[in-house]
Structure formats: structure tokens, C-alpha cells
């Protein structure tokens, strides 16, 4: 039996979303065309945008549709930096926590290499939570030079939900705009642009059962970004023919995901999985925030002493169980988790990482199968590590 427990990488498309997507793909017409076919495509596009906006606590005009989370993050990070430096050449400092997704890390580091950005990296605590005292200290140091703050809404690896409301309030007290990467959080916890007061929030469709290749940047009316793409001005901050079918599918997936909140059933499954792992495997340590409101309901992240996470992944995969060692964006790259290292783990501890993430279609049988296969996989991974030592 195939067991899929890697929803944080991508989540299966529900039948309702797939049906809406395939129906919309049959539409012929460019949403920017003024003839009847074009206007039918425009109507579908805007229906999808409105559904995404409602799910994000935003107005439709504030939703910029993109090709996915990575583009949304790059548009926010680079676009906000260029706007800031254009208005004041002193504003070249970027403040970001150490445990960010690589879409943010790489974009920020690109700005440092090519645009003269100076980066203040904010430390994490032992549960992967942003240290607000360190953020406050960074903001208090020459705040007129800060272009923006960027941070995860919830950590994509260890599942710790960040104190985003406090973070936004701290930054705004100094007049500094904030971008929040909510790709991992959206569909797991409430994400509301207006309620949190952020200037920009990035999300992705395929994390909530929508299609790959679709995302959004919720950009507050008061915020602006310099576009990455030019040639048409079809949206605020983005040019290019808009994907009507993708917007429709994203809208259905987003509405469905938000309607299911809170994920009590998924959280109960996760809690049973965590308890089962800790009872069955000596040396297993749950990383991130404890199970509860401070952790994404579908996330369970462990380190297993004496075992290599990659070996565990392969052994579980051979048993028909799909999990991950961390962010799928680093899949196939043999590197230790920068998140775990930022949390203070040693390299030896970080090497034994395994992330299990549940979603809307996860079942008790999935958890049972994982718990049944895990002890042998850990024993095999530990034996392999000992033999190679």
C-alpha cells in the first residue's frame, strides 16, 4: 500500500479541484482580449482571484497571481527592496531570520551580491521560533536604513508557527514594511493579510491541493513592488498573460482548504503519530514547537540519533511510504538542514532528520503503516551508519 506523508512538499489535488481545473482548461480566450471569448476567460480569472482573496483576508485588487511560491517570494523580496532603495538610497538593509526557506535566502543573498544589500540575520530559538528580542535590536539599529523585514509565517521544515503579529507590529513601529512567506502556513492555520497587517504575503496553490505552477502575492493596497517581469502591466507588479484555469483551480482549492480549518482531524492524527514514534524508537526527538497551537497541525519533524535521514527516507520509500528529510526544494542535495543548525543542533544531530507531513486525505491507516515500518527503517539506517563509520 502506498502511503503519502509528504504534504508539505506538495498536496494531492482533490476531485473537486481537478474537475474545476479541467473544465476551465477548455476555455479559449486571453483574459486581456475584449471579445466574448476573452471576457469569458476574464470572468473565470477574476472569480478565481476573488476566491483566493477571500481565503487570504485580502481584497481582489490586492492579489497578484504568479507562477508559484518562489516567484511570489522573489517578487516581494526583490520588488520591495528596489522600491525602498529608489525612495531612499540609504535603505539597503534587509532583516531576515536564519531559518527561512531557500526561496527567501537565495533571493536575499542575490540582493547582497548584485544590489548592494546588507543583510541582518535574526537568530532562532531552540524550537525554530524567531527571536523577537534579536529582531527588535536589529530594527532599533539605524531603522532608516532598513528596506524591509521578511519572515516565514510558519517554518516549512519543523512546523513552528511564528509570532507574525508581534513581528509586524515591531517592524511597523519603525515604519519598516514586512513580507511574510505563508507558503507552508496557508491551509494549515488562518492566514489573513488584513488581520496581521503585513505589507505582502506569499502563498502557493499546490500546497493546498491546487495545481503546480500557480501562486499569489497578496500585496496590501498601501504597498508597492518593482516588477520582476515587464511587458503588459496586466497586474500590479507583474506582466504576462494571466492563467485563468490556474486561477480557477487555485480559488477552489483555497476556499476548500480554508473551509476545513481548524484541522482537528489532521492534528489528532499527527499527535498519534508523534506519540507512536516517541514510544517505538529510542533516540527519537521531536523538533520544533511542541504539539499544540504553536505548531502546524500536519507537521511532525524528528531527528533519530545514530541514523542518517537520507537512509531513513530510502528505506521507508522501499516500504511504500513517502516522507522527506526537509524542504523538497533541496531534494537530491546532500546538505544538512540550515534550519536545524540555526536552532542549535549539532551536525551529527541534524544528519538524522525526517519530516512527516499529513494532509486532507491522510488516514489512520497511513499513520499505522508508518509506525509499523519505522522501527525497522531506523534499525537499518543505524546499522548502515555504524558500518560506514
Enzyme catalytic residues:
329
Phi, psi torsion values for 187, nearest 5 degrees = 90, -10
CB contact at 8 A, 55 and 190: no
CB contact at 8 A, 329 and 298: no
Helices 102-114 and 69-87: crossing angle in degrees, nearest 10, is 30
Strands 146-152 and 178-181: parallel
Q: How far apart are CA 16 and CA 249, in angstroms?
A: 9
Q: What are the angstrom distances between the C-alpha of 198 and each of 131, 172, 177, 238, 323?
A: 18, 9, 7, 20, 32
Q: What is the DSSP string of 161-181?
A: BP-HHHHHHHHHHTT--EEEE
Q: How far apart are CA 238 and CA 215, in angstroms?
A: 13
Element containing residue 32 per DSSP (H, E)? none
Of how many residues is the chain composed?
389
Burial zone of 386 (CB within 10 Å; 0-12 exposed, 13-18 middle, 19+ buried) = exposed
Q: Count CB neighbours of 313 within 10 A.
A: 22
Q: How far apart are CA 61 and CA 64, in angstroms?
A: 8
Query: Would you give the DSSP letter of residue 328?
Result: G
Amino acid at each position: 500500500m502506498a502511503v503519502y506523508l509528504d504534504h508539505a512538499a506538495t498536496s494531492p489535488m482533490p476531485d473537486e479541484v481537478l474537475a474545476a481545473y479541467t473544465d476551465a482548461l477548455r476555455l479559449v480566450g486571453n483574459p486581456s482580449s475584449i471579445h466574448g471569448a476573452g471576457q469569458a476567460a476574464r470572468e473565470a480569472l477574476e472569480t478565481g482571484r476573488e476566491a483566493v482573496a477571500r481565503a487570504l483576508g485580502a481584497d481582489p485588487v490586492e492579489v497578484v497571481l504568479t507562477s508559484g511560491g518562489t516567484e511570489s517570494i522573489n517578487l516581494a523580496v526583490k520588488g520591495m527592496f528596489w522600491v525602498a532603495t529608489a525612495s531612499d538610497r540609504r535603505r539597503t538593509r534587509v532583516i531576515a531570520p536564519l531559518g527561512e526557506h531557500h526561496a527567501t535566502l537565495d533571493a536575499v543573498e542575490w540582493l547582497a551580491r548584485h544590489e548592494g544589500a546588507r543583510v541582518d540575520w535574526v537568530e532562532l530559538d531552540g524550537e525554530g521560533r524567531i527571536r523577537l528580542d534579536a529582531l527588535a535590536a536589529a530594527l532599533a539599529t539605524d531603522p532608516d536604513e532598513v528596506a524591509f523585514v521578511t519572515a516565514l509565517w510558519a517554518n516549512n521544515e519543523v512546523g513552528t508557527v511564528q509570532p507574525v503579529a508581534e513581528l509586524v507590529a515591531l517592524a511597523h513601529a519603525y515604519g519598516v514594511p514586512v513580507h511574510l512567506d505563508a507558503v507552508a502556513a496557508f491551509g494549515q492555520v488562518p492566514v489573513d493579510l488584513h488581520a496581521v497587517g503585513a505589507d505582502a504575503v506569499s502563498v502557493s496553490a499546490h500546497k493546498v491541493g491546487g495545481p503546480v505552477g500557480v501562486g499569489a502575492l497578496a500585496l496590501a493596497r498601501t504597498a508597492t513592488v518593482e516588477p520582476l517581469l515587464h511587458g503588459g502591466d496586466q497586474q500590479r507588479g507583474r506582466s504576462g498573460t494571466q492563467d485563468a484555469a490556474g486561477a480557477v483551480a487555485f480559488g477552489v482549492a483555497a476556499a476548500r482548504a480554508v473551509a476545513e480549518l481548524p484541522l482537528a482531524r489532521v492534528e489528532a492524527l499527527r499527535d498519534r503519530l508523534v506519540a507512536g514514534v516517541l514510544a517505538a524508537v529510542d533516540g527519537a526527538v521531536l523538533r520544533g514547537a511542541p504539539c499544540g497551537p504553536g505548531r502546524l497541525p500536519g507537521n511532525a519533524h524528528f531527528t533519530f540519533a545514530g541514523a542518517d535521514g537520507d537512509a531513513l527516507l530510502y528505506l521507508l520509500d522501499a516500504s511504500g511510504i513517502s516522507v522527506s528529510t526537509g524542504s523538497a526544494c533541496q531534494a537530491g542535495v546532500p546538505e544538512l538542514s540550515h534550519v536545524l543548525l540555526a536552532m542549535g543542533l549539532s551536525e551529527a544531530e541534524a544528519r538524522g532528520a525526517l519530516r512527516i507531513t499529513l494532509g486532507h486525505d491522510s488516514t489512520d491507516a497511513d499513520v499505522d503503516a508508518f509506525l509499523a515500518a519505522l522501527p525497522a527503517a531506523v534499525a537499518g539506517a543505524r546499522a548502515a551508519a555504524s558500518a560506514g563509520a
